[in-house]
Amino acid sequence: AFCKQLTKSIKQVFDFLSLRWNCLHSSEAVQGTDTVDEKKLVIECLMNWIDFTNIPGLEVARQDLLISVLDTAMLDQELIEAVGELIACIYHKYGCHISELNALIYPRVLRLREVWNTILQDPQVEHDSSLLETCETITKIFVEIAEGSESFIFSSKAVQIGQMEIVLQLLECCRFKYDLNTSLLPVRFFGNSLCLELGEANERKMDAAEIGDRNGVDAEDFVLNTYNPILGTVLEIGLEQMCVDESLFVLREEGESHNDDRDLVLSEDDVEKRKEWVLFCKDASEALYSDKVLQRLGMLLQEKIGEIQSSEDASSVQWAPIESILFALQAILPDVRDRQNEVIHWLLETVLS
C-alpha cells in the first residue's frame, strides 16, 4: 500500500527534482562543493524513487530528468559515482529487457570509454587517487551493465545494440595496472558469466545437432565463434597479470639448495591477483572442458619456449611469462578428466622438449 501511494506521487516528485536539477545547472547557480552535493542528492532521490515505487521501466526511459542527468553528469568526475549507482539500480530492477532503456543508457555509457582513455594518458594516474577512483567507478558501471544484460550480450543481438563494446571495455579494465581492485572486478564477470555461457552454448549446440535443428546450431555457433576468441584474450591477459617481477627469478648454481631465502616472495597484491586469475582459469577449464584450456595454455607455453630457444642473448630471456603459464597449469591439472590424457601427454612433451 505504501509503495502504491509513493507511485501515485511520482509525477509531482519528478517535476520537483527536475526543477531543482535545472536550477543547479542554470547560469545563475553558484558552482562549488555545495552545488555538487545537491546534484548528488537529486540523483540519489531519483534513484530511490525508481527503486522503491512501481514505476514501469518504459516510463522511466521517458523521463526528461533521467535523460538530463545522464547527459550532464555522466562525464563529470565528481558525479560519475552517483550516476553509476543510478544505472546499477535501473539494471537491477528492470534487467535488459526494455529496449527503450537500453537505447537511452548504452550510448551514454559508451562515452565513458573516452574518459577512460583520457585518464590512462595522464602521467599522474598512478599517483592521483581521484583518477583511480574514477577508473574504478567506470569499471563498476560496465560490470553492472554486463551482468544486467547477460541474456542480450550472449546472443546474436549483441552486435546490434552495443554490448560488444561493453565487453571490449571490460577487457581493457582487466589490463588496468594501477589498481588491483579495479582490474579484478571484470575478472569475476568473465569467470562466472562468460565461462558458464560458453559451456552451456556447447551443450545447446550438441542438443540442437542431435535433433537436426540447423537454426539452433547456427545460433550457438554465433555465440561460440564470437566469444571463444574473447575467452582466449581474457586468458592471455590473466597470464600477463600473473607475471611476477623478473628480479625475483634467480638462477641457482649447480648443487645449490632450493630451500634458501631466494625462493619467490610475492607481495600481497601479487598473491591476490594470482588467486583471482587462477579461479578464472579453473572456471574456464570446467565450463569449456579442460582440454581446450590446456591446449591454449600449451600453445602459449610452446610459443614462449620457442622465443627462449631462438634468443641469442641469454640476458634478455624473460622467465616470468613461462612461470605464470606453469602456475596456471599447476592449478588446473589436478581437476582434469581422464579423457584429457592425450592433451596432458602433449603438454609434458612440450615442457620437457
pLDDT digits (tens, 9 = 90+) for 259-297: 554 456 678 888 888 888 888 888 888 776 656 777 788
- Which of the 8 DSSP states describes residue 190? I
Distance CA 170, CA 183 (A): 9
Would you state the cell numbers that stand for residue 112, as one nine-digit string? 565513458
Q: How far is CA 95 from CA 141, 163, 293, in A?
A: 14, 14, 31
pLDDT given at position 68: 92
Residue 97: pLDDT over 70: yes
Residue 315 banded pLDDT, cuts 50, 70, 90: low
Predicted TM-score of the model (pTM): 0.81
State the amino acid at position 218 in one-letter form: D
Q: What is the mean pLDDT of residues 334-348?
A: 66
- Which of the 8 DSSP states describes residue 147? H
Distance CA 271, CA 66 (A): 42
Q: How far is CA 133 from CA 42, 116, 136, 168, in A?
A: 22, 11, 5, 20
Distance CA 144, CA 23 (A): 31
Contact (CB, 8 A) for 218 and 156 = no
pLDDT tens-digit profile of 168-219? 999 999 999 999 999 999 998 898 888 888 888 888 899 999 999 998 888 8
CB atoms within 10 A of CB 36: 15
Q: What is the mean pLDDT of residues 25-33?
A: 63
Residue 2: pLDDT over 80: no
Would you call 184 exposed, middle or buried from its count of C-beta atoms within 10 A (0-12, 13-18, 19+)?
buried
